[in-house]
A and B are shown apart, each in its own frame.
Chain A
Amino acid sequence: DGGITQSPKYLFRKEGQNVTLSCEQNLNHDAMYWYRQDPGQGLRLIYYSQIVNDFQKGDIAEGYSVSREKKESFPLTVTSAQKNPTAFYLCASRADRSGSGYTFGSGTRLTVV
């Protein structure tokens, strides 16, 4: 079945470390997105990519970095510059340009220890 796979499901990071969250899709979607969700909150956009080798900052990009070398993959790196990284991270992809058809992964819960 087609879908989005995020890994790992749970991730623990020591302060000062960089960590990379994986997001892979086999839906042939052009656009991919990373969102952050804090407890009891909505989702906030971190980065997005409309096409391979191109990406744009969202509302809260500071302390994060991404790459889009392949259509299927959009990894997110949480750097040591992100002061409060503990959160639930969700990856999504979109089917077409009309704004419809967003598909979400099951998320990665990152905890700083």
Chain B
Amino acid sequence: SQQGEEDPQALSIQEGENATMNCSYKTSINNLQWYRQNSGRGLVHLILIRSNEREKHSGRLRVTLDTSKKSSSLLITASRAADTASYFCATVTGANNLFFGTGTRLTVIP
């Protein structure tokens, strides 16, 4: 399976703190994407980073990619209670299909 893994599986922080989630994958990729899922809902695309990029920012989100280590991290700065959700990384390979990690459940305590 090409499915990746997120670490940690669950993360609980206070509002205002930063949250860091990590993703490891197994095969060469074209790009890596991060998605957010609120409980029982569909996924929302957050950010995409291509294999030739090392870092990308979008608002309070910062994503890094290390292709030599086959890993990525998602940093959410100044977290809010509304950031409470599950976060998934997904890799895209030559077939252009998405393969998802197992997710990190983030809880931001007001």
Contact = CB atoms under 8 A, between A and B. Distances in A.
Interface of A: 6, 31, 33, 35, 40-45, 48, 58-59, 88, 90, 92, 94, 97-107, 109
Question: Interface residues of B toward A: which range?
Answer: 20 to 34
Interface stretch (B14-22, B61-69, B94-102): B94-102
Chain A's interface: helix, strand, loop or mixed, by majority?
strand
Tell me whether chain B's interface is mostly helix, strand or loop, or mixed.
strand
A37 B30 CA distance: 24
Interface of B: 1, 3, 30-31, 33, 35, 40-45, 48, 88, 90, 92, 96-103
A45 B30 contact: no
Given A88-B40, A102-B33, A106-B42, A42 B98 contact: no
B45 A99 contact: no
7 smallest CB-CB distances across A and B, nearest first, come from A99-B92, A104-B42, A42-B100, A43-B100, A104-B43, A106-B42, A42-B102
